[in-house]
Chains A and B, each alone.
Chain A
């Protein structure tokens, strides 16, 4: 159960090697979290992420579960198994791929994979988890969207459009679940310095996984529905949204 400050005792991270996911798990373990599930494709990376949590934090139990965002047919069984073993107070939907825009534009199957991972996979996993959370009558579903979802940019509209779909899905899901005890929080970080963005030039207002984790913890306490990281991105993106197309496409974004 979450306590009065929204601190969860059990956490399921979908995308168990996600740096933001793991930073959030560490942050929550420092408060009340005692059980953590890391869901991801079986890999040494997933095992070492679990091992690192076990060794470096005071968590009582870390388990991994096979989960492949692209294999939507398996989601019900894989995630159902997790919920069958006890309440999950927080589901963190943290998986996603950036893709390589320049290459993917000429390689439609690769572009589709980005869309399927970030959007279709998330829709499937999100609905499975939402159903389970609704049945237990409490819990939060935190969905990692992106500022890229706010307005498609020439430089990464494949990724941006998939996140835009996810963002809209999560907003709608949050409204659908209003009053069921399940809280859906959409997190829109700006440029986060992680493996996924290694080699890219940081955008203005770049942030870190730890900052995102802090914002998520605060959002849980306040039961916020939308979180921007950093918070200054909210007015910035509100302005960016209003830019006329001819101007926006000329900007070096």
Chain B
């Protein structure tokens, strides 16, 4: 990497960087808490010292803790909080390339890059993820069907491995493909070089349409999804009968400067400063909300209203970039609405031609009455090279469910079977409950991944609760 000064190899440093604290750590779903020593290195040297100082229960890098399950927890061991490494090292405003530390969030990148006319190539449903986390989970966004996952836009990264050395890793190598989607188990990403996409405004031109049921939705997505750069459908998983799988489809692209109208209020504001990044922020819910606020009744009412509120068909609506991509980021700590019991995210993908499985899964969820208000369905494009990357060409469905729902564990196990039988998989960054023996069928390159890890990290320094639970 040209601009990122690689840390010199550090041979011995038994002392972990100060300060550290021993505390309980969970994922965004707030289930299965475990206790770790949390270190927060502020330099590459301190990060290397942290890795070399890991005890026998190892360590794992953690970013902003947006993985839903136990991917960035390490019971009894070390958790290396990377948010202290938060410098943007260089920006090539001509070519649209940024080199930054792994702890930089996509939010920070947007703040800095949007005024320069550049946007991150891929953003998940939250911008509060770090670059390191985006590589580790090989995140995807609404543009997966045209742009692929995050890893495709990474031109290089520096990886701190178990021996304390730093390697610059380039696309096309085994280590690159094992690390993108590798859930942090190959090492700690220290810095990355990312190719950006040019934008003229911080506004989105959005087409909205309603789909009356799942078949209607799939037909609309199949017909003209490729005509849009960004596409996602919110799906009402509580609707039953003829309305099963009814959805609101929102698709769009970055608005061009010329598209901002002169006459409307929104247009005038946009024209004054087309590249301004102004995320709205509401107050956070209180920390100790009771469980059981989200029931079939309350979520059912919400879904009904959400569906009816959406226009049957509307084109060219201007939306702020943040409300198009990250509506939930406007509410800090929104995960608290599930109460202390927390919640589970379930995201599956099945290939094209497996629509029958998708229909069955949607019907089963609707019949079961999972109170899910954030369910989304999306059409994926070509698969990504990461060995444990989640996307594959086909259909992905993501939903969140309160963890306290009775019988949920067995129900999701049954869905796993359906998905695995259809050659699909579930997303590790969201997982907190998969049965370990289901994994190999879902991720055919798991054996390669294990072999590479065994060779690269023979002492097993990098490990996590996820890795222990699933024997990654």
* Chain A residues at the B interface, C-beta cutoff of 8 Å: 1-7, 9, 31-32, 34, 87, 135-138, 179-181, 221-222
Contact = CB atoms under 8 A, between A and B. Distances in A.
Contact of A4 (B23, B31, B35, B57): B31
Given A136-B76, A137-B57, A179-B24, A4 B432 contact: yes
By DSSP majority rule, is chain B's interface helix, strand, loop, or mixed? loop
9 tightest Cβ-Cβ pairs between the two chains A and B? A137-B76, A181-B35, A137-B75, A4-B432, A4-B31, A1-B469, A138-B75, A138-B34, A3-B433
A181 B69 CA distance: 16
Interface string B8-52: 000000000000000110000101111110000000000000000
Contacts of B86: none
A181 B341 contact: no
B339 to A, nearest CB: 11
Interface stretch (B105-113, B258-266, B403-411, B448-456): B403-411
Contact of B465 (A1, A7, A135, A179): A1
A137 B77 contact: yes
Contacts of A87: 75, 468
Contacts of A3: 32, 409, 432-434, 469
15 contacts: A1-B465, A1-B469, A2-B32, A3-B432, A7-B409, A9-B436, A31-B410, A137-B36, A138-B75, A138-B465, A179-B24, A180-B35, A181-B76, A222-B341, A222-B404
Interface of B: 23-24, 29, 31-36, 57, 69-70, 74-77, 341-342, 344, 403-404, 408-410, 432-436, 465, 468-469
B34 A181 contact: yes
A181 B25 CA distance: 9
Contacts of A7: 409, 433
A87 B76 CA distance: 10
Nearest to A180: B35
B409 A31 contact: yes
Contacts of B434: 3
Contacts of B409: 3, 5, 7, 31
A136 B57 CA distance: 8
Contacts of A34: 436
Contacts of B33: 181
A20 B427 CA distance: 37
A32 B408 contact: no
Given A1-B34, A1-B70, A137-B75, 5 more contacts: A4-B69, A4-B344, A137-B74, A179-B23, A181-B33
Task: With a 10 A CB-CB cut-off, give which of A2, A34, A87, A179 has the most chain B CB atoms.
Answer: A2
A3 B34 CA distance: 11
A135 B29 CA distance: 24
Contacts of A9: 436, 469
